[in-house]
Structures are given as structure tokens and as C-alpha cells.
Amino acid sequence: MRNPLLFALPIIAVAPWLLPPFYVTLANYVALASIVVLGLILLGGAGGLMSFGQAAFVGIGAYATGYLTLNYGASPWLALLVGLAVTAAMALLLGVLTLRLTGHYLPIGTLAWGISFYYVFANLPGFGGHDGLSGIPAISAFGYDLDGKTTFFYLNWVVVVLAMVSISNILDSRIGRAIRSGGRATPMAEAMGVNTTGVGLTIFIFSALLACLSGWLYAHFLHFVNPTAFNLTISIEYFFMAVIGGLSSIWGAIIGAAFYIVSKQWLQTLIPALTGRVGHFDVIIFGFVVMFMLHYARQGLAPSILGLFGKRAHFHHSVAEAERLPQRERAEPVTEMLKIENARKNFGGLAAVDDISFNVKAGEIVALIGPNGAGKTTMFNLITGVLPMTSGVVSFRGKRIDNMHSREVLRLGIARTFQHTLLRPHLTVLENVALGAHTRGSTGLIKAALRLDRREEAQLLYEAKVQLERVGLAHHSNTLADSLPLGQQRLVEIARALASDPHLLLLDEPAAGLRYEEKVVLAKLCRELRAEGVTLLLVEHDMEFVMNLVDRVVVMDFGVKIAEGTPEAVQADPAVIEAYLGGVNE
């Protein structure tokens, strides 16, 4: 059984009739916590962000419905809409402010506003202070009150299942690959056209909305709210659940919430019976459990449990033939594709690129060579917008691009690989390549959650498959990228760049790590691309590979261009010979 959900649904259906009332109540708490933790799985496990303030968003949902239904007689459904709107606005504001932080400042920032909201709930007029609000009415639907443990059990778990399905849909989509592409401000993801800041803000708001929905359900389940349920400790407990269950799987939310809540209840009963003392000893025990798992079981409990169902830890795609994505019109061979004029990049007092000028015509293969530290990769970074230029001009097809972001540069038709392979190890080879076609799609989070993106997704995956076939790696489509040898990883990077359908392809040391046979295949591919109208600019240290392939060579040394011309002319140039003999060959 590949899908554990097919096993879980019958259990959910019969559980209220088989479990004692006490455990039905616990199952309701597990469901409410799972909704919040699912947001953390999307935010932290997939998106590389972490929030210790999710309880604040739960509180917004709970207090919004409590305040409006008690003071204005509003429908709980209207109160839900208001709560979601307020949560979205607050998450947007807090996300814009908080997600700008990096490193340990981000979780500290979420701690700060998580603490603040507790005191807001306790002190706002009309919220009942620390005593809270009581008498919150039941939810009504189609003339029936959705009240009682059993009724709420089904309501809560329907929401959990819908949240799981929507997040699974999101992750298995164009925007899902962007979410899983490495977190904020990742140079590779940005170079593939992903707006990492925008993606991070989107999932931050989405996770906050899930927390708000949980708070709404919580308020109508208990008919009571007070600030204690939304303090910093509760946010940390949600984090514990995510870590214990496993941040890498949506099932980790349910497994972690169930383990934590049930174990906590048992410990709160067992420890006083054994020690004769009452206290928060369970928190101490869970602290040690989390530390142990962070050291020895970072994937959490989910992978082991899902393994019983034969569930893969990653998405497996069987790609059917689909309509090809629209292709760019190729430039005439005489067109000046790229023009560099007096490019300079200073790092403090060091000029890594010192007034370099050269051009690349459409349909050419040009090599940028030089000893280590010559500034070749820095030049690539300037062309693709990864680094800002100190001075100079870069023009692409007659349009100035030196002031553009790397995402804009890619959209114009410049794609690249990297000196050190930057594949996402937890994505399959096919998914890594499909990430290269990100800018050729447009489907966002809502359509992906509702599974309305299938036509576009089929096209993106088919494009990825086509490019993998070009580099001879189609049989590795569903292999995790980090399990491939270095040479094949470089070929995957080339396929990923080709998936963007570039006019100009920048290859940074593409032959490094390749065997002789693989270099022959790579050279053949480069010639085929040139024949198709793709222009290539490459950095490479394998001189035999370069000289037998390229039309022209540009030589750099210590940031300065020292030669330019045909392979034969450059090899005979005294300045080039001196630079290589005086430097270190690679």
C-alpha cells in the first residue's frame, strides 16, 4: 500500500465509536495541533524557514471568533473569514519584517512577536483579560449544530486530511519545487528564476492561515479561550511535534502531534504517581527527546513508520509525453549576443575583474580561460546578475542587463551552471531539471493546492525529461540527485539550464569530473546546441577539451584580459604561456 492515507481514512471513520471518550478528546487535540504543525512542515521542512510564533496565529483565529460571536452575535463562519483576513494581514506585515532576518536572528524575531501577542490577547479590552472568553457558541451547518466530541472529531480530521492533501499537492508542483529549492536568497534558486523571498512570504502566510483555522476550531470545540493556550511555550511544543514526527514529511505532523500529546498525557499521570511530586517534568523529558533526535534521528519518526507502507521519501514521477513548452526564436548567427564593456568588480581593494571587454556572437562557442583566481567565475556572476558590477556595461542582444537581477537575466534567455554543482540533494534528478523551467510556467500556490495545474505541470516535467534524454540521464529521472557521481551531477546541471530554453548558455567547468567518454558526449552536445542556434560561453580548465571545441578563446589572469583569439592563436601567445607556466594548472 503506497498511500498511508488509504489506511488512515477507515481508522478515522471508526475511531470515535471504538475509543473511550477520553481518547476521542485526545484525538481532537491531536487533530488541532496537526493542522498547525502541517504549516510548520511546509514552512520549515520544505521551505527552510522556522517560526516560534505559530501559537499567536492560533490565538488570532480563536479570539476573532470568540469576540465576534459573543459581542456581535456574528456567525462563526463570518468570524472565520474575519480571522483569516486579520491573520493574512498580520502574517504579511510580520513576514515582511521578520523574513528579512537571516541566521539565528530569524527564530529570535519570531520569538519576539510570539511573546508580544500573548500580552496583546491578555490586555486588549473585550478579550476578558487572563480569564478569557467563555460561552463561545457551537458551529452550525445546514441547520445542525456541530458540537460534541464525536461530531468535532470528524470536523477536525476532515480539515486535517484536506490540509494534508493540499500541502502534498503544493509540494508536488512548480511552486513546490521552488519552495524546496533551498530556502531564502539561494543563488542557485534565484538563478533559476525563483523569487525566494516571495515564495518564503507566501508559505509563511499559508502556514499562518492554517494556524488561524486551528484556533477557530479550538475555540468552538472548547467554547472557551484564554491567553494561556497561545503563549510561547505552546509554540515551542508545536516545534517539538514537528521535530519528533519529522520535518521532511507531511505525515510527520500527525505522527509528531500524536506522539507528543498522548505521551505528555501519560507522563503527566505517571510521573506524579511514581515520584509523588507534581510539576512540568514532561517538558524536561521531551527536551531530552528532541535533543536526542536532533543528534541521531533528524528525519524524525515518519520515515520509519511510512517505510512499513513502502512509501517513498520523495516524489516519483512517470512522465507521459506532453505538448512541448513554447520555444524561443533563435538569433541570426551574425547577431551580437553578448557584449562586455570595461567590466569591473572590486572586493574592497581587490579588483577581481579589472576593466574586461569582449563580445560573443550568436551561434558561437567561446571559452573564458585562465589560471585559478583569474576572475572567470566572478565574470559569470556579473553577467548573470548574481553579483552587482562596480562599473562597466553588460549588454545582451542589445539590451543593457548589468543592473538586472539574476531572475530577470534568466527570463531574457541567459542560463548557467555553477563551478561547484548546486543541485538540491533531496529532490530527484527530474525535479532538479524541472526547476530550470520554472520561469516557463506561471501556476501559483492556490491552483497547485487545488490540483488545477496538471496540464502545465505535465509540460514542465516533460521538458525536464527531454533535456535529461539529451544528456543521457533519462534513466536516472527518479534518482535522488545526491546519489549521482560528480560527473553526472554536472550533466544534470546542464540539463537544468537547458530546460529554461536559453539563447546563451554559460557553462562553468562543465567537463570537471567527467570521464573521457562523458567529455566526448558533452562536446557532441555543445556542437548540437550550436547547430540549433544556442550560443555557449564556457569556463574550463581542460585545455584539450576547450581547444578542440570552441571558436574563440578569451584569456584572463588576475582579473585582466591578456589575450583573445582563435584557439591556435591563443596557444601561441607568449602572455598566455607565461600566465599558465607561472600559475597553477588544474
pLDDT of residue 585: 43
Separation of CA 486 from chain center? 23
Buried b (16+ CB within 10 A) or exposed e, 243-254: bbbbbbbbbbbb
Q: Which DSSP string corresponds to 4-71?
A: HHHHHHHHHHHHHHHS-HHHHHHHHHHHHHHHHHHHHIIIIIITS---S-HHHHHHHHHHHHHHHHHH
- Beta strands 560-565 and 336-347 are unpaired
Cα–Cα dist 70/59, whole Å? 16
The predicted-structure confidence for 189-216, as pLDDT tens digits, reads as follows: 888 889 988 999 999 999 999 999 999 9
> Smallest Cα–Cα separation from 445: which of 105, 209, 280?
209
Q: Which DSSP string corresponds to 490-511?
A: HHHHHHHHHTT--SEEEEESTT
> Smallest Cα–Cα separation from 28: which of 152, 164, 163, 212?
152
Sign of the torsion formed by the C-alpha atoms of 521, 527, 532 and 534:
positive
Compute the residue count for the chain: 586
Given a cut of 50, is residue 583 above it in pLDDT?
A: no
Cα–Cα dist 316/299, whole Å? 19
Question: Is 143 buried (19+), middle (13-18) or exposed (0-12) by CB count in 10 A?
Answer: exposed
Task: Provide the mean pLDDT of the chain.
Answer: 88
The DSSP element (H or E) to which 407 belongs, if any, is: helix 406-412
Beta bridge partners, 252, equal none
Question: Which DSSP letter does residue 203 get?
Answer: H
Cα–Cα dist 296/172, whole Å? 28
Q: How confident is the model at residue 311 (pLDDT cuts 50, 70, 90)?
A: low
Of the given ranges (170-174, 446-450, 491-495, 539-543), which has the lowest mean pLDDT? 539-543
424 in Cβ contact with 434 (< 8 Å): no
- Beta strands 552-557 and 560-565 are antiparallel
Largest CA distance in the chain: 91
Cα–Cα dist 41/253, whole Å? 7
Of the given ranges (5-14, 115-124, 180-189, 245-254), which has the lowest mean pLDDT? 180-189
53 in Cβ contact with 114 (< 8 Å): yes
474: alpha, beta or left, given left = phi > 0 and alpha = psi -120 to 50?
A: alpha
The predicted-structure confidence for 441-454, as pLDDT tens digits, reads as follows: 998 899 999 999 99
Sign of the torsion formed by the C-alpha atoms of 460, 465, 469 and 473:
positive
The predicted-structure confidence for 27-80, as pLDDT tens digits, reads as follows: 999 999 999 999 999 998 888 888 888 999 999 999 999 999 999 999 999 999
Cα–Cα dist 457/437, whole Å? 10
Given a cut of 60, is residue 307 above it in pLDDT?
A: yes
Residue with cell 515520584: 275
Task: Fill in the amino acid letter for 211.
Answer: A
Given a cut of 90, is residue 292 above it in pLDDT?
A: no
Sign of the torsion formed by the C-alpha atoms of 398, 526, 555 and 576:
negative
Percent of the chain with pLDDT over 90: 46
Average pLDDT over residues 97-122: 84
Cα–Cα dist 231/73, whole Å? 27
All CATH 3.40.50.300 domain ranges of the chain, comma separated, are 329-413+502-586
The predicted-structure confidence for 359-412, as pLDDT tens digits, reads as follows: 999 989 999 998 888 889 999 999 998 889 999 999 999 899 988 988 999 999
Choices 2.60.40.10, 3.40.50.300, 3.40.30.10, 3.40.50.11890: CATH for 329-413+502-586: 3.40.50.300
413: alpha, beta or left, given left = phi > 0 and alpha = psi -120 to 50?
A: left
Q: Which DSSP string corresponds to 502-546?
A: -SEEEEESTTTT--HHHHHHHHHHHHHHHHTT-EEEEE-S-HHHH
- Beta strands 224-225 and 133-134 are antiparallel
Q: How confident is the model at residue 584 (pLDDT cuts 50, 70, 90)?
A: very low
Percent of the chain with pLDDT over 70: 96
pLDDT of residue 173: 92
> Smallest Cα–Cα separation from 419: which of 368, 465, 463?
368
Q: How confident is the model at residue 586 (pLDDT cuts 50, 70, 90)?
A: very low
> Smallest Cα–Cα separation from 302: which of 541, 554, 41, 44?
41
Cα–Cα dist 375/442, whole Å? 36
Sequence-distant (6+) residues with CB within 8 A of 30 are 254, 257, 258, 261, 262
306 in Cβ contact with 251 (< 8 Å): yes
Beta bridge partners, 557, equal 560
> Smallest Cα–Cα separation from 494: which of 531, 515, 523, 517?
523
503 in Cβ contact with 335 (< 8 Å): no
Residue 327 in grid coordinates = 520555444
pLDDT of residue 558: 87
The predicted-structure confidence for 144-161, as pLDDT tens digits, reads as follows: 877 777 889 999 999 999
3-state secondary structure of 369: strand
433-248-500 Cα angle (round to 5): 15
Residue 176 in grid coordinates = 513546490
